[in-house]
A = this chain, B = another copy of it.
């Protein structure tokens, strides 16, 4: 079963940076819904598998063009960056395994941004981020990102509001630079409900094979749920642009968030309209050399 409506329209956060936020903010999407998709879990899982091949083929095309060094009409190489942000247990790991894992690891650059080291803290917040910008032909996937510096930092008061405001501006500039260099950006917030998180944490406390995923700080952070949602709303409103759009992906159903992210990636890769790069050698001459070798 396919999406009956484009998830890239249905899920788009649609904010305009710099303008006052509307009362109905970007997170006013029900985490229980599955915009654009009529099927249930079984259909969704079949869709995930069926579309994995398409995503893998498009990623190979991107990689092939990176290897061949082909350029777009502006003389730039091409790459794709997926940023995934979410509250704990929202399913980032499942996206990595089931959506990203279907692509060729050779052409995928994963980066997981955890709490910054002391050295990283001594630098501008983008210092540790920049080395992970995907090179031409690659898909970069960020499990958390520079957005932590305007999320947990805002919620926990690790930076002043003036600093946070400056960071929004720095993020906009940074992402514009990437786009200008040929990187397409998809930013995803996996939108989970507080109740669903409670159930998922409870499961981790019920199953000894899940204890390792649990930390008492998970409950500490839950106390700041509303503040986190406010920080997300503000960050998304400040940094949602047509070039580096945010998508709010309902995440109470893991299978839905996976196919939604998969479809967003397929869409952006299809929009690149790539062909297999032409041979940069004489095919017939090489066939003769090979035959004689």
Contacts and interface: CB of A to CB of B under 8 A. Distances in A.
A103 B105 CA distance: 11
A214 B279 contact: yes
How many copies of the chain does the oligomer comprise? 2
A15 to B, nearest CB: 30
Given A105-B100, A106-B110, A277 B212 contact: yes
- Pick from A216, A223, A277, A291 the residue with the most CB of B within 10 Å: A216
A41 interface: no
Q: Is the interface of A mostly helix, strand, loop or mixed?
A: helix
A289 interface: yes
Interface string A224-264: 00000000000000000000000000000000000000000
A278 B214 CA distance: 11
A27 to B, nearest CB: 20
A40 interface: no
Nearest to A216: B281
Contacts of A293: 198, 219, 222-223
A212 B289 contact: no
Nearest to A98: B104
A108 interface: yes
Interface string A202-227: 10010011011111100100110000
Contacts of A215: 281
A213 B66 CA distance: 12
Interface in A93-119: 93, 96-97, 100-106, 108, 110, 112
A112, A143, A286: which has the most chain B beta carbons within 10 Å?
A: A286
A250 to B, nearest CB: 22
B104 A202 contact: no
A276 B207 CA distance: 10
Contacts of A214: 279, 281, 286
A70 to B, nearest CB: 9
The 6 closest A-B pairs by CB, nearest first: A64-B212, A211-B279, A209-B276, A222-B293, A219-B289, A212-B277
26 contacts: A56-B97, A64-B209, A65-B212, A68-B212, A93-B104, A96-B105, A97-B104, A97-B105, A101-B103, A101-B104, A101-B105, A105-B141, A106-B110, A201-B290, A202-B291, A205-B283, A209-B276, A211-B277, A211-B283, A212-B276, A216-B289, A219-B286, A219-B290, A219-B293, A222-B293, A223-B293
Interface of A: 56, 64-65, 67-68, 93, 96-97, 100-106, 108, 110, 112, 141, 143, 198, 201-202, 205, 208-209, 211-216, 219, 222-223, 276-279, 281, 283, 286-287, 289-291, 293
